[in-house]
Amino acid sequence: IINPDIFWRKSVFTFYKLDYLLKKKNIKKYQITKDTGISSRTLSNMSANKSITTDTLDKLCKYLHCRPEDIMEYEVDAEVKKC
């Protein structure tokens, strides 16, 4: 049984992997904006680990030929990781 208190613990999706992938593929963020229509503001929000839509995630994965786990990671606090 999962403790319902865990749903109030801090968790976040982080997008630091995106920068590594872009560097590896030698792709600039302005190129993503130009080619996909994803706004530069959305890409900036990702750098700040703010939420994005699944549509944006889908566009990025298709454009970069990758999977979501290649560009983002789900991080939770230590107590939740034990569950």
What CA–CA distance (Å, rounded) separates 10 from 76?
6
Give residue-wise pLDDT tens across range 22-55: 999 999 999 999 999 999 999 999 999 999 999 9
Average pLDDT over residues 2-7: 61
pLDDT greater than 70 at residue 7: no
- The mean of the pLDDT values for the chain is 86
Question: Residue type for 26, please?
Answer: N
pLDDT greater than 60 at residue 83: no
Give residue-wise pLDDT tens across range 20-31: 999 999 999 999
Q: Which residue has 């970069």 as its token pair?
A: 64
Structure tokens at 71: 């560009």
